[in-house]
Copies of this chain bind each other. A is one copy, B any other.
Amino acid sequence: MVEASKVTSMEVAKLAGVSQSAVSRVFTPGASASKKTVVKVRKAADQLGYRPNVLARAMVSGKSGIIGLVVAYLDNQFYPDVLEKLSNALQKKGYHVLVFMASQTAGKIDKVVEEILDFQVDGIIAASVALSSELSERCRKAGVPMVLFNRSQDDPLMSAVTSANVGGGRKVAEFLLEGGHKKIGYIAGWEGASTQRDREAGFMQGLRATGFDLHAREVGNFVLEQARDATLRMFAQDPPDAVFVANDHMAMAVMDTLRFDLNLKVPQDVSVVGYDDVSTAAWRAYDLTTVRQPANRMVAETVDILLSKINDASAAPRRVEIDAPLIVRGSARIPEGWKS
């Protein structure tokens, strides 16, 4: 195999004694070429180490095979996990992921999406970020489908995949109430996030359905240090006997604070419940009771929606909610006779 830097289809054509378009056909999935040509071309291509230039193909075909992924932070284990699964699923379908880190700042995100569009991506996945309506309008105009991951927006034209956050929140309330807890606290995530709002809404519904109300509430913004401060504030006086934390990432910081700053035992003194079921939640140092966001199914749905929209621009937007089961572990008192 004699390699050369950047071999073109033209060179392969010459060596194979065929036209350049014949070479193209051999390398284009749905094209027709006689067995003879295929053999000749393949041989010449191997000899020269030829591989089609994806960018050139993208120019003319209008399909780049690139999916833009906007993601805000990777410190919450849920996201790397999702990124890995997304990338694998997309790779399997012949797509690749171009990553764009975006700070939560609204303006920045719009800039980032513009940049993504510059790459003629075939689609966009926005994980854990919200977009301005002009922006989504712009994508629609540009003919680039987009789906929101783990975030939903009012815009009915925008596809979105989430877990059933409201239902999940409600389950936590029921579980805690059933466990006989009387003073229940909530540590909120960033209030701009739909996940935060929905989880809290469901939780409150569940509480109130039984005539209860929140004993205490603090905001942790999905940030570790802030979760710690929130916990300290919440337990400064009249401490709750249970805390629901808006996500696992914070919940683990809350547990550390409870145990090491406040010398409290979990779950004997306080029950703690999180949300996400990230891999670390199952680690025995935490053994966190939580609501599982089924990352596999969420990813599968996301990819499915995106690809159908790519393959058929007229496909209707879909908003999918994946059922989110409560995973009972040891960080919260388990109600007697709790249904498995």
Contact = CB atoms under 8 A, between A and B. Distances in A.
Interface in A24-52: 49, 51-52
A274 to B, nearest CB: 14
A207 interface: no
A53 B58 CA distance: 11
A96 B99 contact: yes
Contacts of A79: 80
Given A75-B81, A100-B96, A255 B285 contact: yes
A252 interface: yes
Q: For the complex formed by this chain, how many copies does it contain in all? A: 2
A336 to B, nearest CB: 25
A259 to B, nearest CB: 7
A53 B285 contact: no
Nearest to A91: B101
Interface in A120-166: 120, 137-138, 141-143
Contacts of A84: 73-75, 101
A26 to B, nearest CB: 16
A126 B254 CA distance: 36
A117 B91 CA distance: 15
Contact of A118 (B4, B49, B53): B53
Interface of A: 3-6, 49, 51-56, 58-59, 64, 66, 73-75, 77, 79-81, 83-84, 87-88, 91, 96-101, 114-115, 117-120, 137-138, 141-143, 252-253, 255-256, 259-260, 279-280, 283-286
Considering the complex of A and B, which 7 residue pairs feature the smallest CB-CB distances, nearest first? A80-B80, A285-B285, A74-B80, A74-B84, A256-B284, A54-B118, A260-B284
